[in-house]
Amino acid sequence: MNDPTNEKLGLLWLDEVTRVWRRNKEHADAAITQLSEAQLRQTLAPEVNSVAVVMKHVAGNLRSRWSGFLTTDGEKPDRGRDREFVDDYPSRDAMLADWEDGWRVLFEELGSLTPASTLRTVEIRGCQLSVPEAILRSISHCSYHIGQIVQTARVVAGDDWVTLTIPRGESESFNQERWGRG
């Protein structure tokens, strides 16, 4: 990847996927902070995961997929994926520490990638994937679960919910403020 245009494109792409990851985490964090510990553990139905369980799964997935991203299979033998769906956190602090640790692993590994890294392949569950495909697959998977976190938090918080985006009925005023038009 000695071509300066390819180098620049690779850097731009890595910067953008990092921004997407950070926005996803910001949305999840903003939803999580609106809930008490009991609310984080609340389920909407018997077979629906609580926010705490989804957080645990995302953290476990990020650690597994991103630890040694370029050099080891993304499904680590010691992961214990099924245990991720059991809320056994002793406290909110433990829950948040686990959540942050998963994201730390992601951002450290993502930050170590270079444009040349994007031309490589990685292995996930024995399947060879291009680095861009593996990154997009991971973003897609986590975005799905972040949507679950936000939606569940929205329902659990009820009338106390503070919207994470433009509130209903306020698009025109937002557009007017942002661009001077409705």
- The answer as to CATH 3.40.50.10710 being correct for domain 4-179 is no
- 181 pLDDT band, cuts 50/70/90, is low
Instruction: Express each pLDDT in 104-132 by its tens digit.
Output: 999 999 999 999 999 999 999 999 999 99
Q: Which residue has the higher pLDDT, 103 or 169?
A: 103
Phi, psi at 137, each rounded to 5°: -65, -40
Taking the domains of the chain in order of start, what are their residue ranges?
4-179
Calculate the dihedral angle through the C-alpha atoms of 91, 97, 99, 105, rounding to the nearest 10 degrees.
-160
Cα–Cα dist 133/139, whole Å: 10
The Cβ of residue 37 has, within 10 Å, a number of other Cβ atoms equal to 14
pTM: 0.92
